[in-house]
Structure 1
Amino acid sequence: MADLYAWLISFFLIIGLLVLVTFQLMCLADLEFDYINPYDSSYRINKVILPEFITQGVLCLFYLVTGHWVMALFCIPHLYFNIRLYRRRQHLVDVTEIFNLLSWEKKYRLVKLFYLVFILFLSIFWMIYTSLEDHDG
């Protein structure tokens, strides 16, 4: 039963990550269609980047602590990439370069979104598998 609760917690963490990445994509789309100025868009995106990185780190650490090694292995490359961006100080969106990097920023966040959806499906699969296993045993 504890394993099922672990999968539920990871499910909600992944949903939180999906919300943060989708919010960033919406801000970039608003900027592309000229609904918002670059200063507001950069401010809104930069405000949620650090919580996204922290949530990703907590999720990876949570998988390691609970013994879900395969899921932790899926999360470690993304965590490493986030840490590398943070250490190089490339994690924030620059107001002056946002239009030049708009296409790359959108692609980067779309890849993150698809990656998180993949992780979400794996988490749902393992949650269902665990609940059926608990029910049978």
Structure 2
Amino acid sequence: MAQAAVFIFALIDDCFLLFLAVYFIIELSDLESDHINATTCCTRLNRWLLPEALAQLLTTVMLLLSFELMFLIFTLPMTIFLVRRIITSRRGHLGYYDPTEIYNRGLLKSHIKESMIKMAYYLFGFFIFLFSMIMALVQSGNGDTSVPNPSLAEGLPL
């Protein structure tokens, strides 16, 4: 059951990260079509950078502690990318998303592409964790396939 609990947590965490990636795409698309200004968009997105990295890091640590090495290998690259992005933020800027530079050098397009890749990654992870959770729950069953009350099953047509 402990393995199933790890996968349930990973699935819930991955859902949060998937919705966050969709939120990033919506915000960046609104900025691209001038529905919001750059300062508002960048402030909203920078607010979610640390929770995103912490959620991904928490999943990676849980998989490490439960010795799920294949899933750890799957989650480790994104964790490294997100943590590295926070650690190497440029000095003098408001955050990873900087309103003064977001329109320069096609940075907005690259941020949208990055968010699309993260969304695809989290969607793939969602199905992997969902399948693993179902398999762990099936395997953690006691193996008893008998009918709990045989007198009820006698009257059923087969």
Do the structures match in fold with TM over 0.5? Answer: yes
The residue aligned with 2:154 is none
Aligned letter for 1:97?
Answer: E
Larger mean CA deviation between 15-24 and 127-136 belongs to: 127-136
Structure 2: runs of 5+ lacking an equivalent = 144-158
Comparing 89-98 with 49-58, greater Cα deviation is found at 89-98
Larger Rg: 2
Normalised by the size of structure 1, how large is the TM-score? 0.93
Match of 1:14, SS state, is: helix
What's the TM-score once normalised by structure 2's chain length? 0.81
For 2:3 and 2:74, the matched residues in 1 are separated by: 18
Whole-Å separation in 1 of the counterparts to 2:58 and 2:5: 16
Q: Which residue of 2 aligns with 1:102?
A: 108
Q: Does 1:113 align with 2:89?
A: no
Aligned-residue sequence identity (percent) comes to 28
Higher relative helix content: 1
Q: How many residues align?
A: 137
In structure 1, the residue matched to 2:72 is 72
Aligned to 1:83: 83
Alpha-carbon distance in 2 for matches of 1:6, 1:53: 18
- Residue equivalent to 1:47: 47
AA of the residue aligned to 2:16 = G
Residue 92 (1) aligns with residue 74 (2): no
Structure 1 unpaired stretches of 5+:
none
Query: How does 1:48-63 map onto structure 2 within 5 Å?
Result: 48-63=48-63
